[in-house]
């Protein structure tokens, strides 16, 4: 069998990214805090072994933390614009390695090649954003009630930022955290998903090169590969003031509870159950494009993937027919082949969850318009390829309330005013991304009002996927409440301090209190 790793430049990409010795667990060109058991990474594209890495033990984790602590003492003293220069250099290295890293992302995770390139571009974009931000880490000044006093607020470096990332965006989410953390003067300890460890090593190799060229301590960026036990160590560790975790709601609740027990800070970006509302005034062509990409992009494995399409009864049949017709044009196969629209799920466990979800749809009364199914035969040897499915359902179904990380789209019907659709959209536990398709200004503004979407992201006439770097990314309710990336998300990576300066020879007390000695 001819495999993808033999074609599409994967071997060359691995070599360029410093991934060597793929069979002995030493697939890294930079310092590796790992001496534990072997972790094998297989591609969902063709089922082939990409490389073997060693997992981090408890002792390895301890070494990484100590390395990060030592580096922080140096890094926090570097002026923020100089830290920005390090991030700028990292962004330039990413530009030079965009094709190689994008191919690795596509091959190890299974997303389309263009999405792989796009993910690396997100890394480049957040670096550019952070470089400018490094000269704008502003505080506030305010008037004191006491004569001859000045008050202001400033932000200081926080310390070690622990990062737990998910497989679906194996490099971008890490960079959203690190680029901001680094310009804030923090150091980072990263646990990538055990499903995409090679992407983590590639990124570590790139930043390690930048740190070495600038004679900076390697502890500024530490990598600890492993399973949930590494995340547990990080969550319990009082030396890690902030843990940023991306993944399932189940995982996030465990992290939140553990970190809160030691009064640490957590930044959580968890599950989504995202909907597009389609009103009678929607542009149907735009709706179909946004809904189909939102539902099948990354094989439905985005936290912002479109799960529900809430359609007004007056245009329901028209939209349904158009969506079903569009699905008939989808090409499923090797994501490195840009002729294909949909690649594989991450592994066979994900395939099992997909199949079980389709069974539950039928058991709970739903109707499958496109039944889906697991693909086999030539080109599908990994066992991870499935057909995107569409089901008519009810918002109250347990399976609709649940996030299934797979390409399953539920069609829901509403009647009456747009408020009824908004109630359906908000009627789930998750609150990440949402959208409305309408040319009616009043409907759009209702959707964006305080009584509208309860999600962290609310879009008009675009889908639920495709957030830009400049805006803060995250959601409410069981999505976790965290914000990453743009806007003022940088503040979570710093500690806030209020300062008062008395420049007189007297010591008046606040609120006019008298205390004479």
Which one from 108, 115, 269, 403 is the annotated catalytic residue? 269
Q: E strand or H helix at 157, and its extent?
A: strand 149-157
Burial (0-12, 13-18, 19+ Cβ within 10 Å), 461: middle
Going by DSSP bridges, is the β-strand pair 484-485/472-473 parallel, antiparallel, or unpaired?
antiparallel
Distance CA 69, CA 186 (A): 10
Catalytic (active site) residue 269? yes
Residue entry with tokens 């690649």: 343
Tally Cβ neighbours within 10 Å of residue 391: 23
Angle at 317 between CA 404 and CA 463, to 5 degrees: 45
Longest dimension (CA), the chain: 91
Contacts 24+ apart (CB under 8 A), 14-18: 14/50, 14/51, 14/100, 14/104, 14/198, 16/97, 16/100, 17/97, 17/100, 17/101, 17/104, 17/201, 17/202, 17/205, 17/206, 18/201, 18/202, 18/205
What strands, in cross-sheet order, belong to the sheet with 306-312? 367-370, 389-392, 408-414, 306-312, 274-278, 433-437, 457-460
Which one from 127, 184, 188, 303 is the annotated catalytic residue? 303
Does residue 272 contact residue 488 with C-beta atoms inside 8 Å?
no
Tokens for 197, please give them: 């460890």
Residue 130 C-alpha from the chain's centroid: 17
Residue positions annotated with a catalytic role: 269, 303
């Amino acid at each position: 069998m001819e495999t993808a790793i033999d074609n599409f430049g994967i071997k060359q990409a691995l070599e360029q990214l410093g991934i060597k010795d793929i069979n002995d667990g030493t697939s890294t060109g930079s310092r590796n805090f790992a001496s534990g058991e072997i972790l094998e990474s297989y591609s969902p594209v063709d089922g082939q072994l990409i490389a073997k890495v060693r997992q981090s033990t408890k002792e390895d984790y301890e070494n990484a933390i100590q390395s990060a602590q030592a580096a922080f003492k140096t890094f926090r003293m570097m002026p923020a614009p100089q830290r920005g220069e390090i991030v700028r250099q990292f962004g330039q290295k990413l530009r030079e390695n965009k094709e190689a890293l994008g191919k690795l992302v596509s091959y190890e995770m299974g997303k389309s090649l263009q999405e792989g390139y796009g993910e690396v571009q997100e890394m480049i974009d957040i670096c550019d954003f952070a470089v400018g931000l490094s000269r704008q880490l502003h505080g506030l000044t305010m008037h004191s009630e006491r004569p001859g006093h000045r008050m202001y607020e400033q932000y200081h470096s926080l310390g070690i930022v622990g990062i737990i990332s998910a497989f679906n965006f194996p490099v971008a989410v890490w960079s959203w955290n690190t680029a901001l953390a680094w310009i804030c003067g923090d150091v980072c300890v990263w646990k990538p998903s055990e499903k995409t460890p090679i992407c983590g090593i590639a990124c570590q190799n790139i930043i390690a090169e930048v740190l070495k060229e600038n004679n900076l301590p390697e502890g500024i960026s530490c990598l600890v590969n492993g399973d949930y036990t590494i995340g547990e160590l990080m969550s319990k560790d009082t030396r890690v003031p902030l843990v940023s975790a991306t993944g399932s709601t189940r995982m996030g609740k465990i992290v939140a509870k553990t970190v809160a027990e030691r009064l640490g800070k957590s930044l959580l970006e968890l599950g989504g159950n995202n909907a597009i509302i389609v009103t009678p005034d929607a542009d149907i062509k735009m709706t179909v494009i946004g809904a189909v990409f939102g539902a099948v992009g990354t094989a439905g494995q985005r936290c912002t993937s479109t799960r529900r399409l809430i359609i007004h009864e007056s245009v329901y049949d028209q939209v349904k027919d158009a969506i079903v017709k569009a699905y008939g044009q989808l090409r499923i196969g090797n994501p490195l082949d840009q002729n294909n629209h949909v690649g594989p799920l991450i592994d066979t466990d994900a395939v099992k969850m997909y199949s079980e979800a389709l069974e539950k749809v039928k058991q709970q009364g739903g109707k499958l318009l496109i039944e889906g199914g697991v693909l086999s035969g030539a080109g599908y040897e990994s066992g991870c390829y499935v057909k995107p499915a569409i089901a008519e359902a009810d918002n109250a179904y347990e399976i609709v309330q649940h996030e299934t990380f797979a390409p399953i789209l539920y069609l829901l019907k509403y009647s009456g005013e747009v408020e009824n659709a908004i109630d359906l959209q908000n009627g789930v536990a998750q609150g990440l991304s949402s959208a409305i398709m309408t040319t009616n200004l009043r409907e759009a503004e209702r959707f964006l009002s305080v009584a509208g979407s309860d999600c962290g992201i609310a879009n008009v006439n675009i889908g639920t996927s495709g957030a830009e770097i400049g805006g803060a990314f995250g959601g409410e309710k069981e999505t976790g409440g965290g914000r990453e990336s743009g806007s003022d998300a940088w503040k979570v990576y710093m500690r806030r301090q209020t300062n008062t300066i008395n420049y007189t020879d007297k010591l008046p007390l606040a609120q006019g209190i008298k205390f004479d000695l």
